[in-house]
Amino acid sequence: MTSAKEEVAVFGGGCFWCTEAVFESLRGVRSVMPGYAGGTVPHPTYEQVCTGETGYAEVSKIVFDPSVIAYDDLLTVFFASHDPASLNRQGNDVGTQYRSVIFYTTPEQKTAAETFIKKLNEEGKPVVPERAYCQFVINPKLEK
């Protein structure tokens, strides 16, 4: 449950443990919960999602205070912390569950995400959305 000063953003950018660590470090982010979204199988297991046949993507649900951090700032971090031009892949992780995806929770988020993506595409930065590996890439992402 969120208060009047909280909103929810849901982003999928590959391994949810990697993106979780990036967002947890931001001031104004109250919580980050990894999970799955966008699929059709009720209550899927990790093993089911890994088959790539459930339609789910690995995502992070981010509860944030918009008076401290703007949704556009979260979009900036999201697009800087993964390769949005890589279809169904992030680094060594391959499959539809690792796709780049945004699940907006308000009409304003939808508009902001579409505007942000359009701007990136116009700048020539193509965007796809519609274990040891994580440790190896998290620190550079946090520094960035």
82 and 58 Cβ atoms separated by less than 8 Å:
no
| Whether residue 134 lies in the annotated active site | no
Catalytic entry in 15, 18, 50, 134: 15
35 and 59 Cβ atoms separated by less than 8 Å:
yes
**Nearest-angstrom CA–CA distance, 126 and 61:** 24
| Other C-beta atoms lying within 10 Å of the C-beta of residue 142 | 12
| Other C-beta atoms lying within 10 Å of the C-beta of residue 121 | 12
**Nearest-angstrom CA–CA distance, 12 and 2:** 21
> Catalytic residue numbers?
15
